[in-house]
Amino acid sequence: MSAPSSFQASRIMPLQDVTDERDEPFGTGMEQLDRILGEGLVPGAALLIGGEPGIGKSTLLLQVAGAVSSSGKQVLYLSGEETLAQLKGRAERLGALCPKLTAVSTSRLDDVLPALEGDSPPDLIIVDSVQTLTSLRADGLPGSVSQVRAVATELIEACKRGGITLLLVGHVTKDGQLAGPKMLEHMVDTVISLEGDRRQMYRMLRVFKNRFGPNQELLVFEMAQQGMCIVDDPSTYFLGARDPALSGTAVVMAVDGQRPFAVEVQALVSRSYLAIPRRTGLGFDVNRLHLLLAVLEKRLRLNFGQVDIYAKVGGGMRLQDPGMDLALVAAVLSSFYDIPLPERSVFWGEVDLNGQVRPVAGQDVRHSQALRLGYKPVFHPGGNGNGGLDTILSLQEALFRRS
């Protein structure tokens, strides 16, 4: 494979005279994954995927390796964590074995560099993981800042010279951040995170940085016996077997990246026997719950001093969408009055400290998705008389006139 022309010359020239002679991108074997990456896998590009241990990074990448090699591309899977026998056993289970899928188990970068610079380099190399490799040109133990920087630099430079697509697996810290130097995220073209609860069946793939496509994209996977399966329409995937006849539950039309989906927000208000009532939130920042409860007490003149309040996002989902405020308020009021919300109602909107309901990003996308899924009534910001709300007082009047 000939090196791209951009690496054959290092002279200054007008940008408009530069010719783009890069090879065409190739697919991952998953159409939806190609879409969120922008162009599939671009030759010479470097992608970094992070996630907690056991979340499914190696499984997903081995599926990609099998699909790419089945299409006729040469793939090299470098593992510093598993033996070749372990890799083969997992590849057999996933149906990813192919003559063009090669593998090596090593923690020495110098064992692999000659294969990247030889006469027949691979089209795709997967490094699992960058923290397990060591370079002779750097000091320190595997995973140290100096080693991670050196290993990543040498791999990226070698792959760009040979037009090889590089997929790097990165470990994360206990805070969920990618371990190693922050410079690692700057060096690569795309940064991906695989998230989820290992006790749940779903995984979410988020794109945080992408030089070849849109950022903040989201893809939902479901763990199955044959590996990671893409959820084609996650719009109602997180609702599960929901019973709308119960009080304390509300549906929020959330937006993560560019994708809208319905998620259940649950609340339980019960009598407290403690000197200081409990406030617990799961699946979102609990400080959001504290703020909203203070707003409800002040603006609706409610007394929560004698009750415990628990709230969570259903399905194990974690939301950071400010649009969930209105649904959380509706769920708390529903449990407080013990009155179920309308069966097909849906909510979104940010609640400020004055009790005003403010618009959030993706208003049109949320509304069109809610109508497509048949939700009615739709409660959202804007006093247009069609489910539009200006304040939480108008929400209380619309839903709980009987109380």
Residues 6+ apart with CB under 8 A from 119: none
CATH of the domain at 79: 3.40.50.300
* 325 lies in some domain: yes
Q: Which residue has the tokens 């990618």?
A: 178
State how beta strands 190-195 and 46-51 pair: parallel
Residue 392 contacts residue 295 (beta carbons within 8 Å):
yes
In a domain, 244, yes or no: no
Residue 239 resides in a domain: no
**Separation of alpha carbons 298 and 306, rounded Å:** 16
Mean pLDDT of the chain: 89
Shared-domain flag, residues 334 and 217: no
Please tell me whether residues 370 and 279 are part of one structural domain: yes
Structure tokens that stand for 243 in this block: 């019973």
**Weakest mean pLDDT among 42-51, 350-359, 387-396:** 387-396
Q: Are residues 151 and 207 in the same domain?
A: yes
CATH number of residue 353's parent domain: 3.30.230.10
* Inter-residue contact 271 to 309 (CB < 8 Å): no
Residue 68 CA, chain-centre distance (Å), reads: 23
Distance between CA 4 and CA 192 in Å, rounded? Answer: 25
In the numeric block, which tokens belong to residue 86? 């372990």
pLDDT of the residue at 258: 72
Report the pLDDT value the prediction gives residue 383, as an integer from 0 to 100.
56
In this structure, the answer to whether residues 94 and 141 fall within a common structural domain is: yes
212-270: pLDDT as tens digits = 887 777 888 988 888 899 988 777 887 877 888 899 999 999 987 777 889 999 999 99
Residue 9 lies in a domain: yes
- The DSSP code sequence of 95-125 is T---TTEEEEE-SBGGGTHHHHSSSS--SEE
Verify that 208 and 274 share a domain, yes or no. no
Least confident span in 3-7, 110-114, 130-134, 343-347: 3-7
Q: At which of 232, 266, 300 does a domain end? A: 232
Q: Are 313 and 345 in a shared domain?
A: yes
The domain in which residue 62 lies consists of 5-232
pLDDT of 2 above 80: no
266, 195: one domain: no
> Would you state the torsion angle of the CA atoms of residues 124, 26, 161, 182, taken in this order, to the nearest 10 degrees?
-70
Same domain? For 127 and 276 the reply is no
My answer on whether 177 and 316 are in the same domain is no
Q: Judge whether 296 lies within some domain.
A: yes
Smallest CA-to-CA distance from 322 within 255, 377, 369 is with 255
pLDDT at 7 over 70: no
Q: How far apart are CA 213 and CA 217, in angstroms?
A: 9
- Position 242 in a domain: no
Separation of alpha carbons 106 and 102, rounded Å: 13
- Output Rg (C-alpha) for the chain, integer angstroms: 25
Q: Is residue 243 part of a domain?
A: no
193 and 157 in one domain? yes
Cβ atoms of 84 and 105 closer than 8 Å: yes
Q: Who's near 175: CB < 8 A, 6+ residues apart?
A: none
99 confidence band (pLDDT: 50, 70, 90): very high
Same domain, yes or no, for 305 and 193? no
Note whether residue 382 is domain-resident. Answer: yes
Contact 66, 91 (CB under 8 A): yes
Average pLDDT (343-349) is 94
End-of-domain residue from the set 232, 259, 294: 232
**Spatial separation of the C-alpha atoms in residues 246 and 266, rounded to whole Å:** 10
Instruction: Give the span between the Cα atoms of 113 and 132, in whole angstroms.
Output: 15
Q: Considering its fold, how many domains does the chain have in total? A: 2
Which band of pLDDT confidence, cut at 50, 70 and 90, is reported for residue 197?
Answer: confident
* Terminal CA-CA length for the chain: 74
Distance (Å, whole) CA 179 – CA 163: 27
The per-residue pLDDT for 5 is 42
Claim to verify: residue 98 and residue 188 sit in the same structural domain: yes
Q: Identify the residue whose tokens are 């969120």.
A: 36
Q: Final residue of a domain: which of 171, 205, 232?
A: 232
Q: Cα(270)–Cα(308) distance, rounded to whole angstroms? A: 5
